[in-house]
Structure 1
Amino acid sequence: MFNIPIHSFYLMLLVIVLLISGSVISYRLQQRHPEKDYTELRQRVQSWWMMIGILFAALLFNQTLAVAFFGLISFLALKEFLSIVPTRQNDRRVIFWAYLAIPLQYYWVGSGWYGMFIIFIPIYIFLLLPVRMVLLGETRGFIHSAGILHWATMLTVYCISHIAYLLMLPVQNEAAGYIGPVLFLLFMTQFNDVCQYIWGKMLGRHKIIPKVSPNKTWEGFLGGVVSITLISGFIGPLLTPLLWWESFIAGMLISVSGFFGDVVISSVKRDLRIKDTGRLIPGHGGILDRMDSLMFTAPLFFHFLFYSHY
């Protein structure tokens, strides 16, 4: 049904194999230890199947649907962010303009208008939101609200839209197609979380920022950086226009920035005294719980790739 570029097909097949393995492991654990509650593990695996299925379908159908899909992700992320962070009653009129930035930003993406895509939110929306707040005539809490709305729009709309714009870049690796760079970014970002978790469990002794994320250790962080850097060096040339040494750099960039994206959203949750940002994804929490690393890795990887090869 779909004409999938060969290298992208192999990576997608690898992801499916990993999901099948996770499903088998989850089933076997429940069978061997019926006295233990593996509900969260089962929900996580089931949610991964759902998320990967929707993602693959959107990416393979066509570029327009894929761009719209990431626009929906931005909408859900912004909605979730504004639902957990307190805002003023009057800010509802301003929030409308933040939401309006989503279709406009993704229109620039879909039309391939790089110049407007890159400046629309950090310039025009950045200036528009406080002007609209001024017109409300309420000064109490002005700085607090402006900071929340600016940061929320930048993280959930601007940063995530960089994933969508990867789809619009001219194809330079025919074996990967237009979806190759997106698959590379998504796979390496998520695999980075897994690697840092595993290395932390195996060797973790020295905590990095215990007040923010007590389970994050230097051993886990460095183990993840080394693992993702090496793996990216092999996978990068297969899915992107990057050379092997550029892929090493991209892997290191993704690993380090993914770590900081994770702990930044952890800081938000600790400040708000909540465990998860939402309940949209069973076993995972909210959309921000799954997009935290990507909100940092996406723009950094995009610009590294863009200025290296476009």
Structure 2
Amino acid sequence: MKDPELLYLVGGVVGILLIATLVTKILIGKSGETPTLVNLRQRVNAWWWMMLVFCSSLALGRTGVFGFYALLSFLALREFITLSPTPRGDHRTLTWVFFLILPLHFLFAAAPWYGMFLIWIPVYSFAFIPIRSALAGDTERFLERSARIQWGVMTCIYFLSYLPMLLYLPIPGYEGQNAKLLFFVVLVTQISDVMQYVFGKLFGKTKVAPKVSPSKTREGLLYGGAAATLIGTSLWWATPFTPAVAAGMSAMLVAAGFFGGLVMSAVKRSLGAKDWGRGIPGHGGVLDRLDSLLFAGPLFFHVIAYYFGTNMYDAYKQPQWMYDAMRLWIGH
């Protein structure tokens, strides 16, 4: 938070929220507290709180950021699991997921131990989850239950953890400024959601997938996505990109966010729910606000790593303290 360019970005968002708050008050003063305007006020107020919490995590440094996203992963996975009944045979599996797999993954990420970060969930955890459920002896819908837990772990923990991992990307000439990359991803993706919603309400006619997400329209995606891309391009000065590359990255985030939200809406509808939860007034649950970031985060991370030719394996091998602790644990 000592970076002046990051403070400019924060100030810009605060300015937008001040305008949104003022406009909402004026509209309510003229039209009264209609359901639509009450929902708008709830959304704006929620954005104030989310902005405050997000900036507070940045102010605490890397430890604060990783702790913040670990908490978000816990809350998102809890919403994911809560939406459908969990048989007794899965209870102990979920205990291992919430209290071992999740914290260890973020420990490997924050250490950082990049090799283990990559494989802890897709390899070891994916193998462990069905094994632990099989030991419980409940075979009813076994494949469906195991796959559901694996999908929740993959999206709510693994995919989401790529956002704080942006802080560790070694980019030549951009050292110590990666917090702005994290801000860029979150800002462009969330603004894209807002712009698609607004333009969809104003001009939306053609539904993209009416049974999955009735509010998503081609017009909203086209116009809202273009607006978000322009905003992202205008922020090139806070990134290691040229304006042209910033435009491409922004368009990629728009597309990834849109399809990530669409996929998570399909999962949500298959579970018979409209929202993932009720934790954020006007927005639904934590996962409703994060769904567009789940696909955008890992895609953005790996595209940037490829673009700049970074080698995370060599840069972040197993920390010596972790190596010593593991040798002590196994008795050598």
Please report the TM-score for the alignment, with normalisation by the length of structure 2.
Answer: 0.87
For residues 129-148 of structure 1, the aligned pairs below 5 Å read 129-148=129-148
Residue 25 of structure 2 aligns to which amino acid in structure 1?
Answer: Y
Secondary structure of 2:281 counterpart = coil
Contact 1:173 1:239 in 2 (8 A): no
Contact 1:109 1:168 in 2 (8 A): no
Contact 2:89 2:137 in 1 (8 A): no
For residues 167-206 of structure 1, the aligned pairs below 5 Å read 167-170=167-170, 172=172, 174=174, 177-206=177-206
Aligned position for 2:20: 22
For residues 104-123 of structure 1, the aligned pairs below 5 Å read 104-123=104-123
Q: CA, structure 1 residues 47+173, in 2 after alignment: closer, same or farther (shift >3 Å)?
A: farther
Aligned position for 1:67: 66
Flag structure 1 segments of 5+ consecutive residues without an equivalent.
none
Aligned position for 1:298: 297
Query: In structure 2, how many angstroms separate the alpha carbons of the residues matched to 1:240 and 1:94?
Result: 41
How much has 1:242 moved relative to structure 2? Answer: 2.6
Structure 1 stretch displaced more, 17-26 or 212-221: 212-221
Query: In structure 1, how many angstroms separate the alpha carbons of the residues matched to 2:142 and 2:33?
Result: 53
What count of residue pairs does the alignment treat as equivalent? 307
Query: In structure 2, how many angstroms separate the alpha carbons of the residues matched to 1:23 and 1:258?
Result: 25
Query: In structure 2, how many angstroms separate the alpha carbons of the residues matched to 1:284 and 1:124?
Result: 34
Deviation string, structure 1 residues 252-279 (Cα, Å, up to 9, x no partner): 2111111111112222232233221111
For residues 18-57 of structure 1, the aligned pairs below 5 Å read 18-34=16-32, 36-37=34-35, 38-57=37-56
Residue 133 of structure 2 aligns to which amino acid in structure 1?
Answer: M
Deviation string, structure 1 residues 8-50 (Cα, Å, up to 9, x no partner): 1111111000111111111111211126343322222211111
**How much is the aligned-residue C-alpha RMSD, in angstroms?**
1.8
Contact 1:175 1:238 in 2 (8 A): no
Q: CA, structure 1 residues 176+243, in 2 after alignment: closer, same or farther (shift >3 Å)?
A: farther
Query: In structure 1, how many angstroms separate the alpha carbons of the residues matched to 2:108 and 2:33?
Result: 53
Secondary structure of 1:167 counterpart = helix
Structure 1 stretch displaced more, 106-115 or 285-294: 106-115
Pair 1:253 & 2:246 matched? no
Aligned position for 2:324: none
Aligned position for 1:157: 157
Contact 1:6 1:176 in 2 (8 A): no
Q: CA, structure 1 residues 76+36, in 2 after alignment: closer, same or farther (shift >3 Å)?
A: same
Query: In structure 2, how many angstroms separate the alpha carbons of the residues matched to 1:114 and 1:243?
Result: 28
Please report the TM-score for the alignment, with normalisation by the length of structure 1.
Answer: 0.93
Residue 31 of structure 2 aligns to which amino acid in structure 1?
Answer: H
Q: CA, structure 1 residues 136+173, in 2 after alignment: closer, same or farther (shift >3 Å)?
A: same
Residue 14 of structure 2 aligns to which amino acid in structure 1?
Answer: I
Query: In structure 1, how many angstroms separate the alpha carbons of the residues matched to 2:170 and 2:117?
Result: 16
How much has 1:171 moved relative to structure 2? Answer: 5.8
Flag structure 2 segments of 5+ consecutive residues without an equivalent.
311-332
Query: In structure 2, how many angstroms separate the alpha carbons of the residues matched to 1:9 and 1:277?
Result: 32
Residue 133 of structure 1 aligns to which amino acid in structure 2?
Answer: S
Query: In structure 1, how many angstroms separate the alpha carbons of the residues matched to 2:175 and 2:230?
Result: 21
How much has 1:107 moved relative to structure 2? Answer: 0.8
Query: In structure 1, how many angstroms separate the alpha carbons of the residues matched to 2:175 and 2:22?
Result: 31
